[in-house]
Amino acid sequence: MTYLNSNQLKQYQDDGYVAPINAINKDEANEIRKEIEFIENKWPDELKGSGRNYVHLISSIFDKIAHNNNILNAVESLIGKNILICGTTLFIKNPNEKGYVSFHQDAKYIGLEPYNWVTAWIAVTDSNENNGCMRMWSGSHKEKLKHHNQKFDKGNLLTRGQTVENVPVEKTKPVVLKAGQMSLHHPKIVHGSGLNLSKDRRIGFVIQSYIGSDVNQVLGKMYVQKARGEDKFKYHEYVPRAKKLMDDNDIENRNKANEELNKIFYRGSKKIGEY
């Protein structure tokens, strides 16, 4: 995989996302799954709640993927040469847990402006209609930000249970990915995902997001790493890359970054959710 070709660029412009893209190989995808399961076994609380965020700051395996050149080439095609990583999240749906993601726009509560940024959703396991892959409302990225109801509903993997109502689900398209493939989606595309009806886990490692260095955080403070190019704007605080798993300083940085992220996500909200 290298830079996006003209068909892929057109898909992104027209639909607001592009997929499938070969991002990493199956062995690398398996290595991520093993890392997740190792952490879950050894430190059962670490990936719970907001612990699902910023895993690239506490594990060199996630760090390596977030800084992967293949992925960055594709991202560069959409947001230019000067790229920062401003966050990562694990979206895990275990069988029988009733996890889902309501239809929403990423740009609604995250405070990243202008919208020169893109989210990379990397399939750690296969992701398909049976296990609750993402569904995209093609073309919705061309509209304004929509009203979101804050539902804080059980099973919803979003912070506030933020929901765009009346999405024509039959018109949304499933993003079917094999382990190791990724999708790239626009900050304003309306998307969500349903239940995992399979017998295995559905795991996405999501870089949310890759931002151009010209993108500011207008609601709070953000900890970033340089992925590529130059940062003339210097809007954000920098955080070191993880060299091993669960280093004490890295954990402190991860916690600090999460504290700031929570302030952003819950700004103006009277209630705090599970994540």
Burial class (CB in 10 A: 0-12, 13-18, 19+), 81: exposed
For residue 90, give every residue at least 6 positions away whose Cβ sits within 8 Å of its Cβ, in sequence order, or none: 36, 47, 52, 55, 203, 204, 205, 206
Q: Beta strand pairing status for 190-193 and 88-93?
A: unpaired
Cis upstream peptide for 44 (omega within 30°): no
Closest approach, Cβ 141 to ligand AKG, in A, equals 12
Closest approach, Cβ 252 to ligand AKG, in A, equals 26
DSSP H or E run through 253 = helix 248-265
Burial class (CB in 10 A: 0-12, 13-18, 19+), 41: exposed
In contact, 217 and 267? CB cutoff 8 Å: no
In the complex, the residues that contact ligand AKG under the rule CB under 6 A are 91, 101, 106, 119, 121, 134, 191, 193, 204, 206, 208
Closest approach, Cβ 82 to ligand AKG, in A, equals 22
Nearer to ligand AKG, 57 or 110 (CB): 110
Nearer to ligand AKG, 29 or 206 (CB): 206
Closest approach, Cβ 164 to ligand AKG, in A, equals 12
Nearer to ligand AKG, 51 or 250 (CB): 51
Residue 157: closest CA among 112, 203, 222:
203
Closest approach, Cβ 209 to ligand AKG, in A, equals 8
Nearer to ligand AKG, 42 or 171 (CB): 171
- Bridge partners, 218 (sequence order): none
Closest approach, Cβ 125 to ligand AKG, in A, equals 11
Nearer to ligand AKG, 77 or 131 (CB): 131
